[in-house]
Protein backbone atom coordinates (compact mmCIF):
# COMPACT_ATOMS: atom_id res chain seq x y z
CA UNK A 1 0.00 0.00 0.00
CA UNK A 2 1.16 3.57 -0.63
CA UNK A 3 2.81 5.58 2.18
CA UNK A 4 1.00 8.59 3.65
CA UNK A 5 3.93 10.86 2.75
CA UNK A 6 2.52 10.88 -0.79
CA UNK A 7 -0.60 12.75 0.39
CA UNK A 8 -0.52 16.39 -0.65
CA UNK A 9 0.23 18.53 2.41
CA UNK A 10 1.89 15.80 4.49
CA UNK A 11 5.36 17.10 5.31
CA UNK A 12 8.02 15.80 7.67
CA UNK A 13 6.36 17.04 10.86
CA UNK A 14 2.87 15.80 9.98
CA UNK A 15 4.33 12.50 8.75
CA UNK A 16 6.08 12.06 12.10
CA UNK A 17 2.82 12.79 13.95
CA UNK A 18 0.96 10.26 11.81
CA UNK A 19 3.62 7.59 12.35
CA UNK A 20 3.46 8.23 16.10
CA UNK A 21 -0.23 7.33 15.84
CA UNK A 22 0.65 4.16 13.90
CA UNK A 23 -0.41 5.58 10.53
CA UNK A 24 2.18 4.84 7.86
CA UNK A 25 0.11 3.86 4.83
CA UNK A 26 -3.23 4.66 3.20
CA UNK A 27 -4.53 1.35 4.58
CA UNK A 28 -3.59 2.40 8.12
CA UNK A 29 -5.38 5.69 7.58
CA UNK A 30 -8.55 4.08 6.26
CA UNK A 31 -8.81 1.99 9.43
CA UNK A 32 -9.30 5.10 11.55
CA UNK A 33 -12.75 6.43 12.35
CA UNK A 34 -13.37 9.98 11.15
CA UNK A 35 -14.21 11.22 14.65
CA UNK A 36 -10.98 9.78 16.06
CA UNK A 37 -8.94 11.43 13.31
CA UNK A 38 -10.63 14.76 14.00
CA UNK A 39 -10.07 14.42 17.74
CA UNK A 40 -6.36 13.80 17.23
CA UNK A 41 -5.55 16.02 14.23
CA UNK A 42 -8.41 18.53 14.02
CA UNK A 43 -9.52 19.72 10.57
CA UNK A 44 -6.41 18.11 9.07
CA UNK A 45 -7.76 14.77 10.30
CA UNK A 46 -11.05 15.40 8.47
CA UNK A 47 -9.15 16.12 5.27
CA UNK A 48 -7.04 12.97 5.69
CA UNK A 49 -10.18 10.87 6.17
CA UNK A 50 -11.60 12.10 2.85
CA UNK A 51 -8.32 11.82 0.92
CA UNK A 52 -7.78 8.26 2.13
CA UNK A 53 -11.05 7.42 0.38
CA UNK A 54 -10.25 9.27 -2.82
CA UNK A 55 -12.41 12.27 -1.96
CA UNK A 56 -11.18 15.85 -2.33
CA UNK A 57 -13.64 18.65 -1.61
CA UNK A 58 -11.42 21.39 -3.03
CA UNK A 59 -13.02 23.14 -5.96
CA UNK A 60 -11.01 22.61 -9.12
CA UNK A 61 -11.36 23.55 -12.74
CA UNK A 62 -10.54 21.29 -15.63
CA UNK A 63 -7.26 19.68 -14.71
CA UNK A 64 -4.28 20.13 -16.93
CA UNK A 65 -2.25 17.01 -17.56
CA UNK A 66 0.99 16.79 -15.61
CA UNK A 67 3.82 17.69 -17.99
CA UNK A 68 6.79 17.33 -15.67
CA UNK A 69 7.78 16.41 -12.12
CA UNK A 70 10.66 18.14 -10.37
CA UNK A 71 12.14 18.90 -6.97
CA UNK A 72 14.73 21.49 -5.96
CA UNK A 73 16.86 22.34 -2.93
CA UNK A 74 18.16 25.83 -2.12
CA UNK A 75 21.26 25.89 0.08
CA UNK A 76 21.63 28.35 2.94
CA UNK A 77 25.31 28.68 2.00
CA UNK A 78 26.65 28.11 -1.51
CA UNK A 79 28.37 24.74 -1.83
CA UNK A 80 30.85 23.14 -4.19
CA UNK A 81 31.32 20.01 -2.06
CA UNK A 82 30.94 17.04 -4.46
CA UNK A 83 29.70 14.71 -1.71
CA UNK A 84 27.07 17.18 -0.53
CA UNK A 85 25.87 17.74 -4.09
CA UNK A 86 25.86 14.00 -4.78
CA UNK A 87 23.74 13.37 -1.68
CA UNK A 88 21.23 15.99 -2.78
CA UNK A 89 21.07 14.59 -6.31
CA UNK A 90 20.11 11.23 -4.80
CA UNK A 91 17.50 12.64 -2.40
CA UNK A 92 15.93 14.78 -5.13
CA UNK A 93 15.87 11.77 -7.46
CA UNK A 94 14.05 9.79 -4.76
CA UNK A 95 11.47 12.54 -4.31
CA UNK A 96 10.81 12.83 -8.04
CA UNK A 97 10.59 9.04 -8.26
CA UNK A 98 8.11 8.88 -5.35
CA UNK A 99 5.86 11.44 -7.03
CA UNK A 100 6.05 9.68 -10.41
CA UNK A 101 5.18 6.34 -8.80
CA UNK A 102 2.29 7.91 -6.88
CA UNK A 103 0.84 9.20 -10.16
CA UNK A 104 1.66 6.00 -12.10
CA UNK A 105 3.81 7.99 -14.51
CA UNK A 106 7.22 7.57 -16.09
CA UNK A 107 9.33 10.00 -18.10
CA UNK A 108 11.75 9.99 -20.99
CA UNK A 109 13.75 13.14 -20.19
CA UNK A 110 15.83 13.75 -17.04
CA UNK A 111 16.85 17.34 -16.23
CA UNK A 112 19.53 18.63 -13.87
CA UNK A 113 19.32 22.27 -12.78
CA UNK A 114 22.16 24.17 -11.07
CA UNK A 115 22.03 27.82 -10.03
CA UNK A 116 24.83 30.03 -8.76
CA UNK A 117 24.44 32.79 -6.17
CA UNK A 118 24.45 35.37 -8.99
CA UNK A 119 21.41 33.51 -10.45
CA UNK A 120 23.41 32.18 -13.41
CA UNK A 121 21.51 29.04 -14.39
CA UNK A 122 22.98 25.83 -15.78
CA UNK A 123 20.49 23.28 -17.15
CA UNK A 124 21.34 19.91 -18.67
CA UNK A 125 18.97 17.28 -20.11
CA UNK A 126 19.29 13.66 -21.15
CA UNK A 127 16.75 11.64 -23.17
CA UNK A 128 16.43 8.01 -22.09
CA UNK A 129 15.99 5.02 -24.37
CA UNK A 130 12.88 3.99 -22.44
CA UNK A 131 10.73 5.94 -19.95
CA UNK A 132 11.50 5.46 -16.25
CA UNK A 133 10.12 6.22 -12.81
CA UNK A 134 13.01 4.65 -10.91
CA UNK A 135 15.07 6.69 -8.45
CA UNK A 136 18.17 4.70 -9.39
CA UNK A 137 17.87 5.62 -13.08
CA UNK A 138 17.08 9.25 -12.27
CA UNK A 139 20.09 9.49 -9.97
CA UNK A 140 22.51 7.84 -12.39
CA UNK A 141 21.37 10.07 -15.24
CA UNK A 142 21.41 13.29 -13.19
CA UNK A 143 24.81 12.39 -11.74
CA UNK A 144 26.19 11.87 -15.26
CA UNK A 145 24.79 15.26 -16.29
CA UNK A 146 26.52 16.84 -13.29
CA UNK A 147 29.83 15.21 -14.19
CA UNK A 148 29.52 16.34 -17.81
CA UNK A 149 28.65 19.92 -16.86
CA UNK A 150 32.29 20.67 -16.08
CA UNK A 151 31.31 23.34 -13.55
CA UNK A 152 32.61 22.87 -10.00
CA UNK A 153 30.35 25.54 -8.51
CA UNK A 154 29.74 26.74 -5.89
CA UNK A 155 25.99 26.49 -6.28
CA UNK A 156 23.03 28.04 -4.47
CA UNK A 157 20.36 25.67 -5.85
CA UNK A 158 20.18 22.18 -7.31
CA UNK A 159 17.18 20.48 -8.91
CA UNK A 160 16.23 17.22 -10.62
CA UNK A 161 13.30 16.87 -13.01
CA UNK A 162 11.49 14.28 -15.12
CA UNK A 163 9.50 15.21 -18.24
CA UNK A 164 8.02 13.84 -21.48
CA UNK A 165 5.74 11.84 -19.20
CA UNK A 166 3.83 8.70 -20.19
CA UNK A 167 1.76 6.12 -18.28
CA UNK A 168 3.96 3.91 -16.11
CA UNK A 169 2.92 0.85 -18.10
CA UNK A 170 5.04 2.23 -20.97
CA UNK A 171 8.17 2.34 -18.80
CA UNK A 172 11.06 0.01 -19.38
CA UNK A 173 10.89 -2.88 -16.93
CA UNK A 174 13.53 -5.40 -15.96
CA UNK A 175 15.59 -5.11 -19.08
CA UNK A 176 18.45 -3.04 -20.42
CA UNK A 177 20.82 -4.85 -22.75
CA UNK A 178 23.45 -2.13 -22.25
CA UNK A 179 23.28 -2.40 -18.45
CA UNK A 180 22.99 -6.02 -17.26
CA UNK A 181 22.70 -4.89 -13.61
CA UNK A 182 19.65 -2.69 -14.30
CA UNK A 183 17.16 -5.50 -13.64
CA UNK A 184 18.77 -6.33 -10.30
CA UNK A 185 18.72 -2.69 -9.20
CA UNK A 186 15.08 -2.31 -10.22
CA UNK A 187 14.04 -5.36 -8.22
CA UNK A 188 15.94 -4.01 -5.21
CA UNK A 189 14.25 -0.61 -5.52
CA UNK A 190 10.76 -2.12 -5.82
CA UNK A 191 11.44 -4.26 -2.74
CA UNK A 192 12.69 -1.21 -0.82
CA UNK A 193 9.53 0.69 -1.82
CA UNK A 194 7.39 -2.07 -0.31
CA UNK A 195 9.38 -2.05 2.93
CA UNK A 196 9.11 1.76 3.25
CA UNK A 197 5.39 1.57 2.53
CA UNK A 198 4.97 -0.88 5.39
CA UNK A 199 7.44 0.44 7.96
CA UNK A 200 7.92 4.11 7.06
CA UNK A 201 10.36 6.10 4.90
CA UNK A 202 13.22 5.73 7.38
CA UNK A 203 13.17 1.93 7.24
CA UNK A 204 15.79 1.81 4.46
CA UNK A 205 18.27 4.48 3.44
CA UNK A 206 21.16 4.33 1.00
CA UNK A 207 24.54 5.54 2.22
CA UNK A 208 24.55 8.47 -0.19
CA UNK A 209 21.24 9.68 1.30
CA UNK A 210 23.03 10.32 4.61
CA UNK A 211 25.54 12.78 3.15
Predicted confidence at residue 59, as pLDDT, reads 47
113 CA to centre of own chain:
16
Q: Which residues of 129-162 are buried (b: 16+ CB within 10 A; e: fewer)?
A: eebbbbbbbbbbbbbebbeeeeeebebbbbbbbb
User: What's the whole-number mean pLDDT along residues 199-206?
Assistant: 64
Alpha helices of the chain — where are they, by DSSP H? 12-20, 26-30, 34-41, 43-51, 82-102, 135-149, 182-199
Using one digit for the tens of pLDDT, what is the confidence trace for 19-50? 889 988 888 888 898 888 888 888 778 888 88
Predicted confidence at residue 41, as pLDDT, reads 82
Q: Among 55-59, 72-76, 130-134, where is mean pLDDT lowest?
A: 55-59
Domains and CATH numbers, the chain: 4-51 (1.10.150.20), 68-210 (3.30.1490.100)
β-partners of residue 70 are: 161
Neighbours of 12 (CB within 10 A): 9
Predicted confidence at residue 151, as pLDDT, reads 83
Q: How confident is the model at residue 62 (pLDDT cuts 50, 70, 90)?
A: very low
- Whole-number average pLDDT of the chain: 82
- Residues present in the chain in total: 211
Q: How confident is the model at residue 202 (pLDDT cuts 50, 70, 90)?
A: low
166 membership: H or E segment, kind and range: strand 155-167
Using one digit for the tens of pLDDT, what is the confidence trace for 120-132? 999 999 998 889 9
72 membership: H or E segment, kind and range: strand 68-79
Closest CA to 108 of 181, 176, 168: 168
Predicted confidence at residue 61, as pLDDT, reads 44
- Which comes out higher in pLDDT, residue 119 or 62? 119
Neighbours of 198 (CB within 10 A): 14
Using one digit for the tens of pLDDT, what is the confidence trace for 142-189? 999 999 988 888 999 999 999 999 998 876 554 454 566 777 787 877
Amino acid sequence: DKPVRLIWGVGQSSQAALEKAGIRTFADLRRWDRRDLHARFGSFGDRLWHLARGEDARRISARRPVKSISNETTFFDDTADPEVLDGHIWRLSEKVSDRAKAKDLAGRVVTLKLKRANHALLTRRESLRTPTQLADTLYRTARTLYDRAGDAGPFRLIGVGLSDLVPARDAGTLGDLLDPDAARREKAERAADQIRSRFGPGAIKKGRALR
